[in-house]
Amino acid sequence: MTSLPTSPSGKRLGLVIDLDICVGCHACAVNCKEWNSGGIAGPLTDLDPYGGEPDGVWFNRVHSFEVGAGGDGRMVHFPRSCLHCAEPDCVTVCPTGASYKRADDGIVLVNEDLCIGCKLCSWACPYGAREFDSDVGVMKKCTLCADRIYNETFDERDRVPACVATCPVSARHFGDLGDPESDVSRLVAERGGYDLMPEMGYAPTNKYLPPRPRRAAAGCTGAAAELTAPDHAPAKGLLGWIDRFLSG
């Protein structure tokens, strides 16, 4: 239903994305596309796929940002998909009830049979997580791979979202963020995981782990700032130390 579930279970399934190690490889984005093309929200239609303006439906997109400049500058790769917010307006603005947040696990989904394609939910999502499929005239979005994570025909260990399973650096974690004892919650606590645009008040479930401080200052590994030659100046030319080194 369009109204947010009134008695939400404590379960809040979502993703934790580690910006410290994401290399921006797009594997999560393409694998998401691949899985979901034939999944519950498929197809992820591509318009003009071989022409000048290819434009496809993707549930996950990877951006790259430069942050800061010079010595303090860095590049951060930034995957972006639905955050399965706890209090998202994308659900409440929906006039048809097509957009809904599941009471059991907090996954935000679109019921395509109800959707009229008014696009209002995409306007209401600050994060750009809604994808309009103009071919069929309905809104689509990240399903948190609801058809994988509960799929009984899958090996237990494969019951994770496609993007998580495929991420080569393991920058993506999946779990119950409503449970403070879950691995993902602990990770968030340890690493200072944060919300995107908290000022929106949407209470995103997905969390991002910040890049760790860079380690380029002297002493960062415990090493001295530079090596010093052995106290005694080389007696026998450049290699004097070696002689001593070997005879000592």
Partner 1 sequence: MSSRDSSDPPIATSTPSSDQVKYTTCYMCACRCGIKVHLKDGGIRYIEGNRDHPVNRGVLCAKGSAGIMQHYSPARLRAPLLRVGRRGSGEFKEISWDEALTIATGWLGAIRQSDPRKLAFFTGRDQSQALTGWWASQFGTPNYAAHGGFCSVNMAAAGMYTIGGSFWEFGEPDWERTRYFLMFGVAEDHDSNPIKIGLGKLKTGGHAKFVSVNPIRTGYSAIADEWLGIRPGTDGLLVFALIHELLRAGKIDTEYLIRYTNAPWLVIREPGAADDGLFVRNAAGRPQLWDEASGMVAETRRAPRLAGKVTLPDGRTAVPAFQLLAERCLAPDYAPDRVAESTGIPAATIRRIAAELAHAAFEQEVVIMQPWTDWTGRHHDRMIGRPVSMHAMRGISAHSNGFHTCRAIHILQMLLGSIDTPGGFRYEPPFPRSAPPAVKPAGRADQVVPGKPLAGAPIGFPTGPEDLIVDAEGSALRIDKAFSWEAPLAAHGLMHLVIRNAWAGDPYRIDTLFLYMANMAWNSSMNTGGAIEMLTDTDEATGEYKIPHVIYSDAYASEMVSYADLVLPDTTYLERWDCISLFDRPIGNADGAADAIRQPVLTPDRDVRPFQDVLIELGARLGLPGLVKPGGTPRYPGLYPDYLVNHERRPGFGMLAGWRGAAGDKQGVGAPNPKQLEAYVANQCFWRTEIPDCGKYYKHANRDYLEWAVGMGLIDKPEPVVLQLYSEVLQKFRLAAQGHGKVQPPAEHRERIATYFDPLPLWYMPFEERATEADDFPLHAITQRPMAMYHSWGSQNAWLRQIHGENRLHIHHATAAKLGIANEDWIEVTSAHGRIKVQAKLMDGVNPDTVWTWNAIGKRKGAWNLGPGAKEAKQGFLMNHLIAELLPDRGGFRYANADPVTGQAAWYDLRVRIAKVADGACVTEPALAATAAVPNLPERPAVLRYGARFRADAKQ
Partner 2 sequence: MHPALSVILFTTLSGAGYGLLALLGVMAPLDLLPPERGFAFAALGLALGAVTIGLLSSTLHLGRPERAIRAFSQWRSSWLSREGVASVATYLPAGVFGIGWVFYGRTDGVLGLCGVFAAAGAVITVFCTAMIYRSLKPIQRWHNRWVVPNYLALSLATGLLWLVLLLHAFGRPNRVVAALTLLSLVLAAALKLSYWRFIDGSASASTAGTATGLGGLGEVRLFEAPHTSENYLQKEMGFVIARKHAAKLRRIAMLAAFALPFLLTLVAFLAPGVPALVAAAVAAPLATVGVVVERWLFFAEAKHTVTLYYGATHA
176-215 binders of ligand SF4 (CB under 6 A): 202
Interacting residues with partner 1 between 140 and 179 (CB under 8 A)? 146-147, 150-153, 157-158, 162, 165-171
Q: What is the CA radius of gyration of the chain?
A: 25
SS percent in the chain: helix, strand, coil, step 5: 25, 20, 55
- Helix, strand or coil for residue 17? strand
In the list partner 2, ligand SF4, partner 1, none, the entry touching 218 (Cβ below 5 to 8 angstroms by class) is partner 1
d(CA 165, CA 170): 8
Interacting residues with partner 2 between 144 and 163 (CB under 8 A)? none
d(CA 92, CA 48): 33
From candidates 1, 116, 189, 197, binder to partner 1 by CB under 8 A: 1
Q: Tokens at residue 139, please?
A: 């809104």
CB atoms within 10 A of CB 50: 6
Say whether residue 77 binds ligand SF4 (CB under 6 A).
yes
42 vs 200, beta carbon nearer partner 1: 42
Q: Is omega for the bond preceding 5 within 30 degrees of 0, making it cis?
A: no
Q: Tokens at residue 82, please?
A: 């639905």
Least gap, CB of 246 to partner 1 (angstroms): 6
In the list partner 2, ligand SF4, partner 1, none, the entry touching 43 (Cβ below 5 to 8 angstroms by class) is partner 1
- Helix, strand or coil for residue 56? strand
CB atoms within 10 A of CB 165: 18
In the list partner 1, partner 2, ligand SF4, none, the entry touching 81 (Cβ below 5 to 8 angstroms by class) is ligand SF4
Interacting residues with partner 1 between 205 and 234 (CB under 8 A)? 211, 214-216, 218, 220-230
Identify the bridge partners of residue 14 per DSSP, sorted by sequence position: 175
From candidates 3, 34, 183, 197, binder to partner 1 by CB under 8 A: 34
Q: Which residues in this chain contact ligand SF4 in the complex, by CB under 6 A?
A: 22-28, 32, 35-36, 59-60, 62, 77, 79, 81-85, 88, 90, 93-96, 98-99, 108, 110, 115-121, 125, 127, 129-130, 139, 141-145, 161-163, 167, 169, 171-172, 202
